[in-house]
Amino acid sequence: MDQSKRPIYLDYQATTPVDPRVVEAMLPYFTEHFGNPASNSHIYGNEALAAVEKSREILAKSIQAKSQEITFTSGATEAINLAIKGVAIANEKKGRHFITAATEHKAVLDCFAWLERNGYETTILPVDSGGLISIDDLKSAIRPDTVMISIMAANNEIGVLQPIEEIGGICREAGVYFMTDATQALGKIPINVQSQNIDLLAASAHKIYGPKGIGMLYVRRSNPKVQLVAQIDGGGHERGLRSGTLPTPQIVGFAKAVELANMEYKEETRRLMNLRNKLEAQIQNLIPSAILNGNRERRLPNNLNFSFPGVEAEALIASLVGKLAISSGSACTSAEIKPSHVLEGIGCSVSRARSSVRIGIGRFTTEEEIDQATDALRNEFQRLLTFSA
C-alpha cells in the first residue's frame, strides 16, 4: 500500500513503530557483532556480552535499580508470569495469599487464575468509576499470609495511573512484596523503584519504540531480597532466572528506546498532552454524546478512551479502517468478542462498553493527523448513528 494512503495510526497503546534511531543501534548486532553473549571464549561472544551488560545498566538506571536486578525476558507477559508464579512457588512457607485489581492486564489476571487453580488464595480489588483502587480496600485486604500485591502503574485501555508510590509504602510497611506491571508506564512517567518501594517490575520494549520480542523483569536483591523460582529450565542464563540465548539486537534496541524516551521525556510529554487535550476537546465539541472513560486527571499523556453511545465500537472501527487505525481495547484480547473487563470494572454498562474505542497517540503523531482523525470520527459516527436509527 502507498504509505501516503495508509490510515492514520492511533493505536500506540497496542504497539509502536520502532524508532529509526533504535534500528540503527541494533543493526550491527545482526551481522558484525553477532556472537552469543554466553560464548565468552572469543571476541564475538565478548562483544555481544559487553553490549548486553551496557544495555542492562541503561535499563537499570532508568528505574533507579542495579544492573544485576534486571532479567531479560521475551516480553512483559513472560516477565509477569515469572514474577507471580516464581514468587508464589518460592514463598509457600511464608503464605499463599495474593492481591491484585479487577482492571489489570490479562497477563496478570490469568496468572491469578493459575494461582487459584493451584491452591493459592487471591483477592481481586474493585476500582472506582475512574479506574482507581481504594487505598482503604487495599489495606483491609492485606492478611498475615499475604505474599504479594500486584497493581499496574498505568492501565493499557483507559490509561489510568494508579498511586504506586502510596501502594509501595503500604506494601513495605506490611512486609509484602509489591509488583507492578509497568508495560505502559516505562518511558512515559517517572519510575523509581527505590522511592516507590517496588520489588518487582515488568516492562516491554515494543511499547516505547523498541523491538518486539524483548522485555525485562526487575527483581529487588536487597531490603528485601525477593525470592522467586525460575519458570524456564535450560542453560542457567540470567543468573538462573531465565534460561535461553540472549537476543543481543533486541536488548540493544530496548536500551536505546529507553535512553531516547528518557532524553526526550519532558518535551515529548508536553507535546503529547497538548495533542491529546486538543483531540479530547474536539471530540467532545463535535460529538457531545461522547463519554470519556477513566479518570481525567490521572491518565497517561497519550491515551483517550471514549464511548460513542448508539454506535457499536466494532462497526465504527470497521468503517474507519482505511482512515484511522484504532482499537476497542487491549490488543492482547482483541480476538474475544465480549465487553472489556476494564470497562466493566469501572462500572460501564454492556452497551457503553461495546461502544468504546481506545485512541493512543505517539511520537510520530502530528497535529494535522489529530484534525483529520476528529473529522473522520465525527463523520463516521454520524453516518452510523443515522443508519442505526
Look at domain 3-17+265-388 and name its CATH class: alpha beta
- pLDDT (0 to 100) of residue 59: 98
DSSP track, 294-357: S-SSSB-TTEEEEE-TTS-HHHHHHHTTTTEE-BSS-GGGTTS-S--HHHHHTT--HHHHHTEE
* Distance of alpha carbon 246 from alpha carbon 252, whole angstroms: 11
Range(s) within the chain of domains with CATH label 3.90.1150.10: 3-17+265-388
The residue ranges of the chain whose pLDDT is under 50 are 330-334
**Tens digit of each residue's pLDDT (9 = 90 or more) over 135-164:** 999 999 999 999 999 999 999 999 999 999
Angle between helices 367-388 and 265-286 (to 10 degrees): 30
Range(s) within the chain of domains with CATH label 3.40.640.10: 20-262
Q: Annotated catalytic, 111?
A: no
Residue 69 near residue 119 (C-beta atoms within 8 A): no
**First-residue to last-residue Cα distance in the chain:** 35
- pLDDT (0 to 100) of residue 339: 82
Amino acid, res. 285 = N
Look at domain 20-262 and name its CATH class: alpha beta
